[in-house]
Amino acid sequence: MVEKSQPDSALLELFRAELETHAETLNAGLISLEKDPNQPKCVEGLMRAAHSIKGAAKIVGFEATVKVAHLMEDCFVAAQAGQIRLESGAVDALLQGVDALGRLTTPAESSAKGDSAEEIQLDQLLSRISAVRQGQSQSIEISATRPPESLPETSPPDPLPHTAENIEKKSSRQIEVTLDEFILEAKEHLSGMVNELLELEKSGGEWEPRHIDRLFRAIHSVKGGAGFFGCRVVESLAHALEEIFDELRHREGVSIESSLIDIVLAAVDRMMVLVDDIRRSNDADVSELLRRINGLGKNEPLIGLRNPSASASTMPVVFPAAKDAAIPTMERSASLRVSVSLVDRLMTLAGELVLARNQALRSIDDGTEAMRPVLQKLDAVTSELQGAVTQVRMQPVGNLFAKFPRLVRDLARQLNKQIRLETKGTEVELDKGVLELLSDPLTHLIRNGCDHGIESAAERQQVGKPEIGKISLSASQLGGQICIEVRDDGRGLDFERIKDKAVRSGIRTIEELSRATKKELLDLILLPGFSTAHSVSEVSGRGVGMDVVKINIEQLGGTLEIDSLSGNGTIFSLRVPLTLAIIPCLMVAVEGQRYAIPQKDLEELICLHPQLTSATVETADDREFVRLRDRLLPLVRLGEVFAHPRPFNADRQSEIAEKFRNKAIATPDALNKPCSETSNVIDATLLAAVKSGSRRFGIIVDEILKSEEIVVKPMHSSLKPLGCYSGTTIMGDGRVALILNVEGIARHAGIRFSECLSEQNATDGCSIGEDRLALLFEHGPREQFAVPLSDIRRLVIADRCKIERIGEREFISIDGVPTSILRLDRFLRVSAESGSGMLFLILPKKAAQPLAISATAILDVATLPENLATDVFRAEGVLGTAMLRGRVTLALDFARLAESAESADRFFARSDGSNHSKARILLVEDTQFFQELIGRHLKEAGYEITVAVNGLEALRLLETQTFDLIISDIEMPIMDGWIFAQAVRQNPSWRGMPLLALTTINSSESREKAKRCGFDGYLVKLDRDELLSAVSEILILRECVQDNSPAGGES
């Protein structure tokens, strides 16, 4: 028989991973069984999981694990055969078994009974599970409420199974400190022992009493310390060694064999490892080692160790698995474990490949037509590769959700409530990093839900709710974000108590609260130290938490929203990005170099232009500020920050302030310059308003370039002290750009606003509610208008000479797209503009066709009052009127205005007779051949085509552009047509979008499925005429529907 050596660490790693997966299955399965014991399918899954664990444990030689798993498997087999029923008592025992499986992850040699407390516990557990197997769950239910207590005298006084708990019990800072001291001391003693032992070995077994004395004293100290801190396992090892040394002391003249030293060294090494991670040391299984040490001390006379060959044969650690030839092999799995760094490297290389491809495409240009198809293929493969590599980092959110059923179950027991957890959307995939960071916030929200949300059964009955409370956890993907919802059907948030608490803690006045909206009230509970729980309980309600949850989510670049109906539960909606490796950033430039500001730090962009706004940079106390909506925003000039490697001091501040004060005075003549785009930009001060924690400030930059999604790479470790950067990235042209750390910049520039003041400002900013901020502008000389900021995509300064006229209508090219200009005086009874001077264009976020409202002056950003007066000025496209900045202001409904403009446009278009020649079609197709072919057919018929290579990309395009029709393939990488169609149908704004499937599959099932998924039509590739007639049919149909319900769909 081949002797097996200790399983290598890679194998153990694999085993632990495997064990974890199966343990999760077991946990989840058992809990669902507890709810409904009649689930044969579920039992089968449990049986398989237990069986797999057993098989794997055998291979690595974890005998105790094999035993537990084997017994559990037996239970499940019996349950499946109907011999026993797994009631909640039995489930308890089995769950403990699962816990034990997690703990027993160190090899134990045999089933021989050791005397360690661990084994006794194990035996108790085994007998409990055996009892389950025999169907005695009744009696078990009673004992289940009590932890096993009877431990033998040899065990230390504290019977707690985990040192961690043990230490936490005594937990005070002092103990923590002394524990650290103990660790240091123990390690000193142990390493001293190692040297001593090695000396002994060198001397060939000859020793003097003082050597052994030293060893004895060292181990004795370790034992004492370990005993004091309840580190049972370390103590037991130390005790065993102490006995050996004690015995040796009394046997002078006996030589010590190296085999004895081997064992002692092994024990010392093991203790070193255990001491290193002292809090988990009691989870370790050292019974095998103990047995060997005890064997030395008692059963075998020390002199008997003389025969080296005999002792050698006892030395190798033989794993029982080696004796068992018929080991079932581990289930073969189709997945592979790969290190994250390797995946990152692949990501990088894929990105580089894209760059290389771009260079290649640029360099061939004309003349080498033969190369083009090759390069195009390279192009396609590269994009696909990049997509696939990104996919590797993704994990289903179910992996995270799997731990919550257990949490809810345990909490429910603890709180004496009945709670059911439902999970949805477990298949939604998220970046591993994001997933890990979501764990804490979600745990917190679920704890909160169980503790404060769900009422007791009696309370629920009184208000007529089902006795069992429900917490549902669901995940879904919305574009580039994942939305996770934690919803409970409990008592909901008590608004009165929130108000009460807010007033009492002085955060808000009663006056303010009476005006506050529901959302504003809900946001209050996200403030630090705000808790409405009646009492602080074990589970939650300490007032720390919700703010931490919010901060955690924000750090991920996500958002947290709360909704609650008093008496009907609470909904927490988390939105987080799909991945952390790629973050949206604003690219800015300073002195010709590009820098990235993470979008999560960004509040708004401000352009201070002498012609456009009265706001300017003001200087006081050698610091620069700008007044933004009546708040002072401290300013930092990024160029100056970079010019001075040392943090700013007072001298530097005044030097900078002086420099720019002079500059501001030197160039006030900008007003008289002719209106051309370049001069406008040069004189403007561009600043990005950012937030760092509770502080807000403005960063002045030379240029604001664009928003971009960038791949984050770390800074060089030698440059970590440079606080102004959080990382690096590679730009599209292959150059490196630095990612700014807003907090570091604030520190460098010495932004000094007392925290509470800026805090107040920050919360005020939040409570305004971004949806009520509006842009104030003028069109004619008389009226002031307002458009909600949320409706605006961007502002453009128009060059009057570039406006073209076609009949009544005016067009201007913006980013190469002909955009029709909407003049307010043509739709409303307002004054017309003079036709000279500056002209601004306000581009809406949502518009079926490119369109812009013209304006002659951009005045300010102001908050729209909640109640607009609607009877002063009534007209289509006007929301109402309000007094803003001392003037009567017309608040515009952008969507309505755009619609009436579009219907006018359509009228013109129809009269041209080319009604759908401009229809925009989104073609979702992965094969280049079909992209070309279908694209050509459609283009020839006069449609405008945009191509997306898969569903995901198409969804992204849909977010930014509008289309009249989507034609989608079914079989595609990353996101196929089925999922894509469902996603389109789930989004309310795309629900009416015609969706045509175009595929090579021609079967009735897939036609059926297409209908179910939401496709309007189904075509088989590829009949040109059939395609074109189907497309025009759908488009005409759509137009009729729209005409019949004018101005209906959008609002």
Partner 1 sequence: MIEEIKSSVVELNSATARTYCTFHLQNGLYGIDALAVKEITVLPCITPIPHAPPEVRGYVNLRGQIVLVLDSNQIVSGISSTLGPDSRLIVCRAHLGDPFGILADGIGDIWELNDDKIEKYEVGAFTEETAACFSREELIFGMGKLEGGLLAILDARRLLPIIEAVIEHNFKKTYHRTGSLALENRHEKS
User: From residue 715, how far is each of 355, 461, 725 by CA, in Å?
Assistant: 22, 58, 8
| Cβ–Cβ < 8 Å for 745, 849 | no
The span from the CA of 847 to the CA of 819, in Å, is 11
Least Å distance, CB 642 to partner 1, is 3
Coil, helix or strand for 368? coil
Residue with smaller CB distance to partner 1, 328 or 693: 693
Measured from the CB atom, the residue of 14 and 355 that comes closer to partner 1 is 355
CB of 273 to partner 1, least distance (A): 25
Joined tokens for residue 723: 């606080």
In the complex with partner 1, which residue's Cβ is closer, 637 or 779?
A: 637
User: What ranges in 750-858 are assigned the alpha helix state H?
Assistant: 755-768, 824-827
Q: Report CA-CA distances (Å) from 345 to 3, 386, 432, 739.
A: 39, 12, 16, 20
C-alpha 573/C-alpha 518 separation (Å) is 16
Whose Cβ is closer to partner 1: residue 238's or residue 596's? Answer: 596
Residue 593 Cβ vs partner 1, minimum distance, rounded to whole Å? 7
Residue nearer to partner 1 on the CB measure, 574 or 596: 596
Best CA proximity match to 262, nearest among 285, 231, 295: 295
Which of residues 82 and 592 has its CB atom nearest to partner 1 in the complex? 592
Nearer to partner 1, 734 or 781 (CB): 734
Q: Return the number of the residue (295 or 714) whose C-beta is nearest partner 1.
A: 714
Sort 395 into a burial class: Cβ within 10 Å, 0-12 / 13-18 / 19+: middle
Q: How far is the CB of 699 from partner 1 (least distance, A)?
A: 14
Question: How far is Cα of residue 770 from the mean position of the Cα atoms in its chain?
Answer: 24
Instruction: Write down the least CB distance from residue 600 to partner 1, Å.
Output: 20
AA letter at 387: G
Which residue, 338 or 719, has its beta carbon nearer to partner 1?
A: 719
Q: How far apart are CA 541 and CA 603, in angstroms?
A: 31
Is the Cβ–Cβ distance between 501 and 519 less than 8 Å? no
Shortest distance, position 723 Cβ to partner 1, whole Å? 6
Of 847, 855, 704, 674, nearest to 775 by C-alpha is 855
Round to whole Å and give the CA distance between 287 and 268: 15
CB of 690 to partner 1, least distance (A): 18
922 burial type by CB count under 10 A (0-12 exposed, 13-18 middle, 19+ buried)? buried
Minimum distance of partner 1 from residue 954's CB (angstroms): 28
Helix or strand or coil: residue 870?
A: coil
At closest approach, how far in Å is the CB of 649 from partner 1? 5
Which of residues 724 and 812 has its CB atom nearest to partner 1 in the complex? 724
Comparing CB distances to partner 1, the nearer of 657 and 842 is 657
Residue 733 Cβ, how far from partner 1 at the closest point, in Å? 9
d(CA 483, CA 489): 19
Identify which of residues 173 and 646 has a Cβ nearer to partner 1 in the complex. Answer: 646
What is the end-to-end Cα distance of the chain in Å, rounded?
79
For residue 990, how many other CB atoms are within 10 A of its CB?
18
Residues at the contact surface with partner 1, assessed by CB under 8 A: 348-349, 351-352, 355, 593, 641-643, 645-647, 649, 713, 716-725, 728, 730, 734-738, 747, 750
Q: How far apart are CA 746 and CA 958, in angstroms?
A: 38
Which three-class secondary structure state does DSSP give residue 362? helix
Beta carbon nearer to partner 1, 352 or 940: 352
Peptide bond into 12 cis (omega under 30): no
Report the nearest approach of partner 1 to the CB of residue 603 (Å). Answer: 24
Whole-angstrom Cα distance, residue 43 to residue 1045? 55
* Of 424 and 752, CB closest to partner 1: 752
**In the bound complex, what is the minimum distance in angstroms from residue 555's beta carbon to partner 1?**
17
Q: Which amino acid is at 571?
A: I
Complex with partner 1: residue 30 or 597, whichever CB lies closer: 597
SS (H, E, C) 600-630: HHEEEEEEECCCCCCCCEEEECCEEEEEECC
Type of residue found at 177: V
Classify each residue of 396-406 as buried b or exposed e, where b means 16 or more C-beta atoms within 10 Å of its C-beta. Answer: bbbebbbebbb
- For residue 640, the minimal CB distance to partner 1 (Å) is 10
CA angle 944, 949, 952 (to 5 degrees): 105
Q: At what angle do helices 40-60 and 63-80 cross, to 10 degrees?
A: 160
* Least distance in angstroms from the C-beta of 385 to partner 1: 13
Query: Closest separation between CB of residue 755 and partner 1, Å?
Result: 14
